[in-house]
Amino acid sequence: MEHRFEPTRFYNAFGPYEPVLEVDDGDTIITTTLDARGKNKEGRKVAERGNPLTGPFYVRGAEAGDTLRVHIDKVLPNRAQGWSRTVIADHVVDAPFVREMPEDVLAHWEMNIERGTATLVDPETDLGRLTLSLAPMLGCLGVAPKRHQAISSATSAEHGGNMDYRALVAGTTVYFPVFEEGALLFTGDGHAIQGDGEIVGTGIEISMDVQLTVHVLKDMKAQWPRGENEDYIFAAGNARPLDQALQHATTEMLRWLESDYSLDHRAASTLLGQCVEYDVGNVFDPAYTVVCKIAKHLLPARN
Amino acid sequence: MEHRFEPTRFYNAFGPYEPVLEVDDGDTIITTTLDARGKNKEGRKVAERGNPLTGPFYVRGAEAGDTLRVHIDKVLPNRAQGWSRTVIADHVVDAPFVREMPEDVLAHWEMNIERGTATLVDPETDLGRLTLSLAPMLGCLGVAPKRHQAISSATSAEHGGNMDYRALVAGTTVYFPVFEEGALLFTGDGHAIQGDGEIVGTGIEISMDVQLTVHVLKDMKAQWPRGENEDYIFAAGNARPLDQALQHATTEMLRWLESDYSLDHRAASTLLGQCVEYDVGNVFDPAYTVVCKIAKHLLPARN
Amino acid sequence: MEHRFEPTRFYNAFGPYEPVLEVDDGDTIITTTLDARGKNKEGRKVAERGNPLTGPFYVRGAEAGDTLRVHIDKVLPNRAQGWSRTVIADHVVDAPFVREMPEDVLAHWEMNIERGTATLVDPETDLGRLTLSLAPMLGCLGVAPKRHQAISSATSAEHGGNMDYRALVAGTTVYFPVFEEGALLFTGDGHAIQGDGEIVGTGIEISMDVQLTVHVLKDMKAQWPRGENEDYIFAAGNARPLDQALQHATTEMLRWLESDYSLDHRAASTLLGQCVEYDVGNVFDPAYTVVCKIAKHLLPARN
Amino acid sequence: MEHRFEPTRFYNAFGPYEPVLEVDDGDTIITTTLDARGKNKEGRKVAERGNPLTGPFYVRGAEAGDTLRVHIDKVLPNRAQGWSRTVIADHVVDAPFVREMPEDVLAHWEMNIERGTATLVDPETDLGRLTLSLAPMLGCLGVAPKRHQAISSATSAEHGGNMDYRALVAGTTVYFPVFEEGALLFTGDGHAIQGDGEIVGTGIEISMDVQLTVHVLKDMKAQWPRGENEDYIFAAGNARPLDQALQHATTEMLRWLESDYSLDHRAASTLLGQCVEYDVGNVFDPAYTVVCKIAKHLLPARN
C-alpha cells in the first residue's frame, strides 16, 4: 500500500516519539523532507534548524531485535535553490592550518532537475559557474535508538541517523536494527550532491521528494546499519575516531558474511583482505561514519 | 637512460644509507623487489623479513626541499607463488570480537600472469579455489625521511614508505618531498592484489619486476606524498588515528590546489566539499594511510 | 531548605523527563541511589540495570544558558555488599592481548563503613583479602542534555552524565551548563572506590546515601562540566578519543581562566604549560572523560 | 665507576650511532645536556635545535632482549636562564578555538637554583612575575630503537625517547628494553619544570647537569619503558591517539605484575580496576605518552 504523507511536525532527534503515521510491512511512504535549516520546497522555514526530520513512521510488526529493511525508491530535489558551506571544517584540516582558512560564507546553487545538474551561483571564486551532476541522497535515515534514547539528528549511532553517506541514493536498500516497537523510521537532511566525508559540513542542502518502501525482517540480526545496491553489500559503523567506526563496520560485515553467506571468519577475512573497499561517510558530525563494502560478484550465493 | 639493477643489499628501513645506484634526472630504473619476508623470484630467502627494500637510488640534482616525481612504469609479479594472511588484524575489529577470531594461518595463491589472475590454493575454506584479478601494486615506495631518520619499512610518514595504498600500480605517478641529497628512493613489498586497508596485514605478497622513471621537480613543494593517474590527482597522509591521516591528506590537497590550480582555500573547499573522494590506504601498519583525491575533469587547467 | 526524597521511578538516560521533585535555588536534596544494576540498600532489584538514575530534580529559576552549581555534601555507601568486575576491558589493553585475558567474573567486596574500608571477599586470587580505603564517589551526575536529547546513563557529554571521575566525592562542587528549564539534575552509579579510567568497567558498585545542594548561577557560562575542591579547579571534557576529551577540557579551562580569573589566553597558556595536571576520568564508557585541573594556589584572585 | 663526560657531538635522533663512551654495568655517568635549541650552560649554541642529545653511551654486556636500568641520580639546571612557549599548541585545544589563540612568543624565566625557583621575566601578562618551584626533569631519555631505526628526538616509542614525562626527575629509576648491543643510552631536553602534557610544546627549557647510573638486567623483559620511584611503579606507552598509548601502558603493567609480582591478569585487573592511576606524559609530540602507575604499598612483595 502507498501512503502519501505531508509532514507538519518535525523532530531534531531520533527518539521514541509519537508516530506520525502507521504503515504495514511492505508499504510505501511517499513524503517530503525539509532542508537542514528547516526550509521546505517553497523555501519557507517551517521547522527549527539542525536537520529537522520527517517521521517517525511506525511499521506494524516491527519489534526490538528485528531488522527494518528500507528501500530508497526515490530521492529528488523539489526546489531549484540549494546551498552549501564553503570552508572545510576546522577539525578536518591540520590544526595549525585552521589559521590559513577563510571565514565561512554560504554558497548558493541552482538546480536544473531535468538536466540533473547543480550550478554554483555565488560566491565568486575561481571555480566560476561550476556545474556538477546531481547525485541526490539522504543525509539522515534511521530508526529510534537503543535504550530509549533520543539522539540528535546531527549525529549517528547503531540506529543510523545523520550518517551523511553519499551512497544512500535512490535504488539503495538499507537495513536498520530495530530497538523500539514499530521501529520508528525517520528521514531528512537531503543533499543534491555531497563529497565523501561531508567535509564542509554540508552537501548541497535542499528539500526533497522522498519515497521509501519498508519491510520487517525477523531473521536478520543487524547490529549496525547495513545496505546493498546493485554492485555491493555494505555495513556502516558510526563513532569517533574513524578507526573505531571502521572497526564497527568491519565487524558487522564479518557477522553478515557468516550468517547469510556461510563464510566463517577465516574465509571472510581471506576474501575481505584482498577485496574489501572502505568508504568514508562523514568526518564532520560528532560521530564519524565508515562503510565496509564488498562487491556482490565476489560473494557466494546468499542463504 | 635505462638502468638495469639487480639488488643484493636490502634495508628494512627508509634512511640515509649509502646509495646502491646513482641515476640522473629523467632516468629509468629496471629492477626487482623481494616479497615481504625476503624471498626472491626463485622463492629463495635472500634478506631479512619485514619488507626488505630495493634501493636507495640516488637521483642526481635532488636536494632537500625539492620534490621527486616517480612514475611507476611497471609492477609485475615475477613468480607464480604468492601468500597472504587469513585473519583480519585484531586492531581492525571491535575489541571484544578478537575473542571470536581464529588463529592466523598463511594462505597460498597461484598466479597466472598471462591471464592476470591469482587463485587460492589453500587453506580450505568455503571460498573454494577463489580466483581474483591481479592488480599488482607497490606496498613500499618512498624516499629517505626528514631529520636524517631511519624509519622502519613497516610504517610510513611524510617520506612515503609502507603506505600499502592499492592505487600505486603501473601508470600511476607519485611525488615525494625530498629530505636528503639525492632523494634516496626505495621500493619493495609488492602485492599481486590487496584490499583497502590491508586489513589482514598483507596483500598477496610476492616478488616483483619493477620499473620506475624519476624526475626532480624544483618548483613543486610537496609536504606529503602526492600522486596522479589518468582520472585523479591525490594526496596521502600517514598517521594514527585515521582522522589525523585524513587531516594531513586534505591539507596537502588544499596546498596543491592553491599552488598549481589557482584555487584559493574557499574555492578548493567548495569544490572538495561536494566532490572529494577518500581512499583508505592501510589500517594495519603503525601509521595509517588516508588518500584525498579529486577527479581531474573537475579541475581548472594546471598552472 | 532540605528535601528528603526517596526515589521510586528511575531513568536510564539523562533526558527532558517529568521531574520527580521541584526545589529552590539553594536547596539541599537528601536522597539515595541504586547500584549500577538497579539494587537498593537492601540488595533488592528495584530498577533496570544500566545505571538507573535518581531524579530528575527541577531547580526553580534555572534556564537554558545558566549554570547549575551542585555541591556534593555527602556520598556514603548504605549497605555492606559491593561488587566489581575483575578483567580490564578489551578496549583498554592492546588488541592482541585480548587473547591473553581471562573471562570476566564478578568480585564481591565487604564494606566496613565505620572503618572506611572495602575488603575483597571473592574470587580467590593472589590478592587474598585485599583491603582498600573507601573513597565514595558518584559515577553519574549531570543534567538534561542539549537539543532535548535523552542520552544513556552509560555515557557522557556536555551535560555531564556517566563521567566516572573519581574526584566527584563529598566536598567537591560541580558546575553544569543548563540546557532545559529547571536544569533537571540526575545522579546515580555510586562507587565505594574506583581507579582512574574505570578500566574494569566498574568501581566497587554500591547503593549510596547522597546529599546535594544546588544553586543557579546566572553569570557563569560553562560549556562543559567544571568543578572545584579545596585544592583545585577543574574542567571535564567527554568524547572519544581521549585526545578530543582533553581538547574540550583544556579549552573549557581557558574560557574559565579568562572570564573568572582575568587571565587571557597567553597568560593562561603560560601558566597551564608549566603547571596543568590532567586526570583520566574514564576510558570505559562510549565517551571517555579527561579532566584538566590547576592548583588554586597558583591562580590570581577570582573576579 | 664514575665517568665524567663532556659532550661535543650531539645527535637529533635515537639511533644506532657510534658510542661516545663505553661504560660498565653499574657505572655512573656524570655529564651535561643542552637545551632543546642546542644552547649550553653558557647560553652558547653548540648544536642544531630540536632536542640535541647527549650520548649514546654503550653499556657493556647489554644485548638485545635485555633491559637497561637507569637511575636518575641528578638533574639540575646549570644556568640561570630558561625559556618556554606561551601558547597552548593548536592540536591541544578544540579546532575552532585555534582562531581565538594568540601568536606564540617566547617567555623567559630566571632560575634561582639555591632557592629552587623559576621566575617569569617576560612577556608581561596578568601573571606578573610568577614564581614556580623547580621540578627538574629529563624530556628525552632512552636507548636506540628497535629494527635499527633512527627515530627523531622529537618523538618517542618503545625505546623511550622524547616522552616529556614530568616524573623523570632525580630519584626515579627507568627501565628500557634493549634493542642494540650496548643499549646506546641517550638523554637531553631538560625542563626546569613542566606541566602534564607539555601542552605549550615546552617546559622551561634549560641546560642541565645530569648524573645517571646504569645496570643491565638479564631477567627483566620490558617491552615499553618502565620505572619506579619511592611511591609507585609505572609503565609508559607512546603512541597516538592517547587511547593507544594508554593501552600500551596498561598492557605493559599487566605483564610486569604477572612476571614480578605473581599477579595473574585477573588479580592484577581487580587491583588496577580500583587503584590504578594514569599520568599524561605529553600530548604535544608526534607520539603521545600515557603512564600507568600503581602505588607500591598496594602490591605484594616483588619476586
Out of C90, C96, C241, the one facing B96 most closely (by C-beta) is C90
Instruction: Assess whether pLDDT exceeds 90 at residue B7.
Output: yes
CA distance to partner chain A, nearest, from residue D134 (Å) = 31
Residue A179 confidence class, pLDDT cut points 50, 70, 90: very high
Q: Which residues of C touch B96 (CB under 8 A)?
A: 90-91, 98
| pLDDT confidence band for A303 (50 / 70 / 90) | confident
Question: How many CB pairs lie under 8 A apart between chains A and B?
Answer: 212
What is the rounded CA–CA span in Å between residue A31 and residue A24?
A: 16
Q: Using one digit for the tens of pLDDT, what is the confidence trace for D76-94?
A: 999 999 999 999 999 999 9
pLDDT above 90: percentage of residues in chain A: 99
Task: Please report which confidence band the pLDDT of residue A205 belongs to, taking 50, 70 and 90 as the band edges.
Answer: very high
| Mean pLDDT within A178-194 | 98
How far A296 CA sits from the closest chain C CA (Å)? 30
pLDDT of D195 strictly over 90: yes
- pLDDT at residue B115 tops 90: yes
Which residues fall within 8 angstroms of residue B139, CB to CB, at 6 or more apart? Answer: B36, B51, B162, B163, B164, B168, B188, B189, B190, B191, B194, B198, B203
- Per-residue pLDDT, C217: 98
Q: What is the mean pLDDT of residues C108-126?
A: 97
For A256-292, the pLDDT digits (tens) are 999 999 999 999 999 999 999 999 999 999 999 999 9
Taking only the tens place, the pLDDT of each residue in B203-236 is 999 999 999 999 999 999 999 999 999 999 999 9
Is ipTM over 0.95? yes
Pick from D85, D91, D97, D98 the residue to mutate for testing the A interface (most A CBs within 10 Å). Answer: D98
Minimal Cα–Cα distance from C120 to chain D, Å? 9
Contact B245, B286 (CB under 8 A): no
Contact A218, A229 (CB under 8 A): no
- Report chain C residues whose CB lies below 8 A from the CB of A13: 147-149
Query: What are the chain C neighbours of B91 within 8 Å (beta carbons)?
Result: 95-96
Tell me what the mean pLDDT of segment A1-18 comes to: 98
d(CA B136, CA B169): 6
Residues 6+ apart with CB under 8 A from C168: C72, C75, C137, C138, C139, C141, C174, C227
Quote the minimal CA–CA distance from C16 to chain B in Å.
Answer: 32
pLDDT of residue D43 exceeding 90, the answer is: yes
Residue D124 neighbours by CB under 8 Å, 6+ apart: none
Is the pLDDT confidence value at D200 over 90?
Answer: yes
Report how far residue A34's alpha carbon sits from residue A264's, in angstroms, rounded to the nearest whole number.
43
| pLDDT score for B230 | 98
How close D290 comes to chain B (CA, Å)? 16
**Which whole number is the average pLDDT over D220-247?**
98
For range C177-184, the mean pLDDT: 98
Residues A218-250: b if buried by 16+ CB within 10 A, e if exposed: eebebbbbbbbbeebbbbbbbbbbbbbbbbbbb
Query: Is the pLDDT score of C303 beyond 90?
Result: no
- Residue pairs spanning A and C at CB distance below 8 A: 41
Q: Which residues of A touch C251 (CB under 8 A)?
A: none
CA distance D44 to chain A (A): 31
A241 chain-D contacts, CB cut-off 8 A: 241
Using a CB-CB cut-off of 8 Å, the residues of chain B touching A241 are 241-243
pLDDT of residue D303: 84
Q: What is the CA radius of gyration of chain A?
A: 19
Contacts of A203 in chain B (CB under 8 A): 273-274
- B260, B270, B272: which to substitute to probe chain A, counting the most A Cβ within 10 Å? B270
D109: pLDDT confidence band, cut at 50, 70 and 90? very high
Q: In what order do the strands lie in the sheet with D160-162?
A: D21-23, D54-59, D183-191, D137-142, D160-162, D156-157
Question: Is residue D230 very low, low, confident or very high in pLDDT (cuts 50, 70, 90)?
Answer: very high
Name subunits touching C (3+ CB pairs < 8 A): A, B, D
Q: Is the separation of the CB atoms in A49 and A205 below 8 Å?
A: no
- Would the pLDDT of D254 be above 90? yes
Instruction: Please give the average per-residue pLDDT across B72-95, as a whole number.
Output: 98
CB contacts of D253 in chain C (<8 Å) are none
- In the three-class reduction of DSSP (H, G, I as helix; E, B as strand; rest coil), residue D32 is classed as strand
Percent of chain D with pLDDT over 70: 100
Confidence (pLDDT) at D27 = 98
The answer to whether the CB of C47 falls within 8 A of the CB of C36 is no
Q: What is the mean pLDDT of residues A1-21?
A: 98
Q: Name the residue of chain A whose CA is nearest to B90's CA.
A: A247
| Mean pLDDT within C160-167 | 98
CB contact under 8 A, A270 and B300: no
Quote the CA–CA distance of C139 and C135 in Å, as a whole number.
Answer: 12
Average pLDDT along chain D = 98
How much is the average pLDDT of C13-42? 98
pTM of the model: 0.98
For residue A274, report the phi and psi dihedrals to the nearest 5 degrees: -100, -10
Share of chain A above pLDDT 70, in %: 100
Closest residue to D94, CB basis, from C88, C251, C276: C251
Distance from CA of D154 to the nearest CA of B (A): 10
Residue D68's alpha-carbon distances to D63, D211, D230, D262, D293, in angstroms, are 9, 16, 19, 22, 19
Contact A151 C148 (CB under 8 A): no
pLDDT at site B303: 84
Choose, out of A92, A99, A199, A247, the residue to mutate when testing the contact with D (most D CBs < 10 Å). Answer: A99
Residue numbers in D near A96 (CB within 8 A) = 90-91, 98
Phi, psi angle pair for A259, to nearest 5° = -80, -35
> Is A95's CB within 8 Å of D98's CB?
yes
- Are residues D290 and D237 in contact, defined by beta-carbon separation less than 8 angstroms? yes
Burial of C166 (0-12, 13-18, 19+ CB in 10 A): buried
- Shortest CB distance from A90 goes to which of D89, D96, D241? D96
Neighbouring CB atoms inside 10 A of B50's CB total: 17
Confidence band for C112, pLDDT divided at 50, 70 and 90: very high
Cβ of A242 and B246 within 8 Å?
A: yes
> Which chain C residues have a beta carbon less than 8 Å from that of B98?
90, 95-96, 98-99
Which of C87, C92, C98 to mutate: most B Cβ within 10 Å?
Answer: C98
Interval B116-135 mean pLDDT: 97
Those residues of chain C whose CB sits closer than 8 Å to some CB in chain A are: 12-13, 15, 50, 146-152, 154, 239-241, 244
Burial class (CB in 10 A: 0-12, 13-18, 19+), A183: buried
Q: Residue A194: which residues within 8 A CB-CB, separation 6 or more?
A: A135, A137, A139, A164, A166, A202, A203, A204, B273, B274
Chain D positions with Cβ closer than 8 Å to B: 12-13, 15, 50, 146-152, 154, 239-241, 244
